[in-house]
Structure 1
């Protein structure tokens, strides 16, 4: 098969997969996770159930993929930064700012994340996603300690748990009451609070 044709097929598969994930996110936001079925996702996206099954195999695999895709690259530009204090602060401020865009994918992720506390079919996937997020946060704190920009007495795991809890909590508040959360202002405030918490008391200028 010629390379150009093969690339075209790959692009078609990627387009189909993206459309199915977008349809699943819409259904989660509109009616909740229990309303998501392979048939309804296919219908919403304009495909057959067979196409959905071919791409994901099961509802759980579809929801796993949705959770992963909706958070991948959520904060633009952070992935290109070196681990450390500044990347951590950029992530905090950028994450909260992105919540203000109220995208269907981010709203679906938060709804699924909340549902994962009581839904066994979601819990394993979201534990994995949260641990991956905490690992990135731990890397930032450890790098900051190593280069002297973060206090040496800080525990990376404690910070990772606290930051993740803060971001998810702000997201849920925004989901429930959008007018109560000015994401631009809150994002800046959170970043400044973390800068002070991680640097003050050691003689480091918090900037």
Structure 2
């Protein structure tokens, strides 16, 4: 009985992962407005009924996709204590990841931009952005406390500026991959924040 349940759960997880991947691909290719349950099912190799069974409707699917795409963009930061080193690693790592951005991260950026005009998406992305800014604020506060960051800096201002800069660069990279040299930007943007934060 336990084995059967696990197998059913594995099948369910596999189907959900395939459906979310298909939804992410469709968002990247055609935008969230053209996303339908039928298209997602067809892309993933399932029926529309399976999509409805897993998500209920389009809004629930989009919300689930939005949450699924919000996984850690820069791996390995959880082990680094709050402070300027973690902040600079995040900036450098974020820009480095743009060189090989996957479909889920592309979908995240497109959904994030779409949230400005989609009231149903806005709360999900406001919550995510606030968590992102909170981590950055913690880094600045910790750096000020131990003397590694200039005491006159306002943690909230730094956090807003970094999120805006990174997301703006990422969207530009999506629009014009050849026009945005992420390796060059990686050096200059990380260097810029290193200088700004220095006491």
Q: Is the 8 A contact 1:145 1:152 kept in 2?
A: yes
What RMSD over aligned residues (CA atoms) do the two structures have, in Å? 1.7
Residue by residue over 1:143-171, the C-alpha shift from the partner in whole angstroms, topping out at 9 and shown as x without a partner, is 22222211222111111100000001101
Q: Is the 8 A contact 1:99 1:106 kept in 2?
A: no
- Bigger CA drift: 157-166 or 142-151? 142-151
Structure 1 stretches lacking a partner, 5+ long: 203-207
In 1, distance between residues paired with 2:166 and 2:131? 15
Matched with 1:21 is 20
Alignment of 1:165-204 (within 5 A): 165-199=164-198, 202=199
* TM-score, structure 2 as length reference: 0.92
In 1, distance between residues paired with 2:153 and 2:192? 15
Q: Is the 8 A contact 1:84 1:143 kept in 2?
A: yes
For the residue of structure 2 that corresponds to 1:118, the secondary structure is: coil
In 1, distance between residues paired with 2:83 and 2:169? 23
In 2, distance between residues paired with 1:174 and 1:47? 32
Matched with 2:47 is 48
Change beyond 3 A, Cα 1:86–1:36: same
Matched with 1:94 is 93
Alignment of 1:1-207 (within 5 A): 1-2=1-2, 4-199=3-198, 202=199
Change beyond 3 A, Cα 1:5–1:90: farther
Paired residues in the alignment total 199
Residue by residue over 1:163-187, the C-alpha shift from the partner in whole angstroms, topping out at 9 and shown as x without a partner, is 0000011011101111111112212
For the residue of structure 2 that corresponds to 1:120, the secondary structure is: coil
* TM-score, structure 1 as length reference: 0.88
- Bigger CA drift: 119-128 or 91-100? 119-128
Query: Once the 2 structures are TM-superposed, how far is the Cα of residue 117 of structure 1 from its aligned partner?
Result: 1.2
Structure 2 stretches lacking a partner, 5+ long: none
Query: Once the 2 structures are TM-superposed, how far is the Cα of residue 6 of structure 1 from its aligned partner?
Result: 4.0
In 1, distance between residues paired with 2:137 and 2:34? 36
Change beyond 3 A, Cα 1:143–1:61: farther
